[in-house]
Amino acid sequence: MKPDPLGDWRRTHFSTEIVPELSGEEAVLMGWVTDIRDLGGIKFFILQDIRGSIQVTAPKSKVDPEILDKINSISKESAVGVKGKARAEEQAPRGVEIIPSEIRVLNPAKIPLPLDPTGHQKADLDTRLNSRLLDLRRPKSQAIFKIKHAACQAIREYLISNGFIEIHTPKIVRSATETGATLFPISYFEREAFLSQSPQLYKEVLTGCFDKVFEFGPIFRAEEHDTRYHLNEVLSADIEVAFVTKEDVMGVLEDVLVEVFKKVKQKCSEELKVLEKEIDVPEKPIPRITYDEALDKLEEAGKRVRWGEDFSIPEQRELGNIINGAYFVNDWPADLKPFYIMAHKENPKLSHAFDLLYDEIELASGGTRVHQKEVLIKQLKNKGLSPKQFKYHLKNFEWGLPPHSGWGLGIERLTMALTGARNIRECVLFPRDQKRLTP
């Protein structure tokens, strides 16, 4: 039997729990070595863990020669355990350091490292993504994912405390929900299947039994985009609610967005500081303009968009500049929106669909859905889709499926808005894009 690599050691403190008031107390810390310095009579290294870092100081006069040898042999980014005593020291970062009595190298890092996790030496995004583990030890990368975590937590907590039930729908599906062009086909035994583009159809059905549902899950888009805003695998937060219209779910989305910004501002002040990002909590009500009004505003700004066309990123940026911050664009041309969106009664060219934008990026899309089977069949056909393909889905509409509305919010886009990341790939641990399938 192999011995336990940690022996009898377990972490007693995180780095940031070591404060000057603890001077004299013994602690065991676990983490990674980020910086090593030798000033002749004294050796230092910085031990990093998930909470922060602490200086480990070995004065030649005070520690065992064995420890000095050990420090000499450690490579940066090795996983180590350190036992020692805290000592208040004005010169040390945060006014405290650890004087080691024993160091265990738990797994040495191989040098040279492909990148410098302290971030002093700049590396391009590709190099960083290829060595993502090391990159994720950089304070800036850590900050992005801690903020993403806080945002997801805020959304979940808000929805759960407002009576939403979390659902998990299949990611291997038989047919498209958006358009067939953006599906990833997979082989499913003898048949063809696809990766799910959206939980759309399942979440709609589930309003017929659970009333208010939400899901956090991946969506897969076989889009050939190569932009700063597109991935081929995205984390989406989706909701769907029975017996309401789009106005109601826009209210939920507004609350969710404000809640996310508030919570991130409260809980992640350190991370925002690391990113040099200041965030303003959007004020309610978030402005709502119609698609037609958006066209007018763009025209006033000298940007002409033909009715029926989607906005480009520069056009969205222009609107973002005019409106400043977050805003809804409501009542889109039906041709731009999927088959399951309800059309306006008096003008079927218009749909009950909305987008939520933040500066130049679309964060979410939603709308009032069709709940009548015959209407849905008509709209499927209008989009060139075959009702036969949707046989099982359509059955649900014969069983009292209530009128319902909902939205889908892209979590990486939201993370961009919160962190100021310029490229969406910064906001996903292991991005999937046209060129990148590994790591």
Q: Which residues are annotated as a binding site for ATP?
A: 221-223, 362, 410-413
Shorter beta-carbon distance to Mn ion: residue 55 or 365: 365
Task: Map tokens 């940066």 to a residue.
Answer: 76
The full DSSP string for 418-438 is HH--SSGGGGSSS---SS---
Q: Which is nearer to Mn ion, 67 or 334 (CB)?
A: 334
- Binding ligand ATP by CB under 6 A: which of 49, 211, 223, 248? 223
Q: Does 425 bind ligand ATP (CB under 6 A)?
A: no
| Residue numbers belonging to the annotated binding site for L-aspartate | 178, 221, 365, 369
Contact assessment for residue 182 and residue 197, using Cβ atoms and an 8 Å cutoff? yes
| Cβ 128 vs Cβ 428: under 8 Å | no
> Do strands 26-38 and 42-49 pair parallel, antiparallel, or not at all (unpaired)?
antiparallel
Q: Show the binding pattern over residues 169-208: x = contacts ligand ATP (CB under 6 A), - = does not.
A: ---------x------------------------------
Q: Which is nearer to Mn ion, 150 or 350 (CB)?
A: 350
Query: What residues are designated binding site?
Result: 178, 221-223, 362, 365, 369, 410-413
Contact 215, 160 (CB under 8 A): no
Per partner kind, with CB cut-offs from 5 to 8 A, the member of ligand ATP, Mn ion, none near residue 408 is: ligand ATP
Q: Output 32 or 291, the one with its CB closest to Mn ion.
A: 291
Residue 356 per-residue DSSP state: E
DSSP state for residue 19 in the 8-state scheme: -
Whole-number minimum distance, CB 182 to ligand ATP, in Å?
A: 8
User: 401: which DSSP letter?
Assistant: P
What is the C-alpha to C-alpha distance for residues 104 and 212, in angstroms, rounded to an integer?
A: 52
Of the candidates 408, 421, 427, 431, which one interacts with ligand ATP according to CB under 6 A?
A: 408
The item of Mn ion, ligand ATP, none sharing an interface with residue 415, based on CB under 5 to 8 Å by kind, is none
Residue 359 as a binder of ligand ATP (CB under 6 A): the answer is no
Q: Does 419 bind ligand ATP (CB under 6 A)?
A: no
Q: How many angstroms separate the CA atoms of 402 and 95, rounded? A: 62
Residue closer to ligand ATP, measured from CB, 206 or 363 = 363
Residue 84: name its binding partner from Mn ion, ligand ATP, none (Cβ under 5 to 8 Å by kind).
none
Report what 223 binds from Mn ion, ligand ATP, none; CB cut-off 5-8 Å by kind.
ligand ATP
Closest of 128, 30, 37 to residue 78, by C-alpha: 30
Give the Cα separation of 148 and 428 in Å (integer). Answer: 9
Helix (H) or strand (E) holding 73: helix 65-73
Supply φ then ψ for residue 2, to 5 degrees. -75, 145
> Is residue 415 close enough to count as binding ligand ATP by CB under 6 A?
no
Two tokens, residue 107: 């797994």
Residues that bind ligand ATP (CB under 6 A): 178, 221, 223, 230-231, 234, 236, 362-365, 408, 410, 412-413, 424
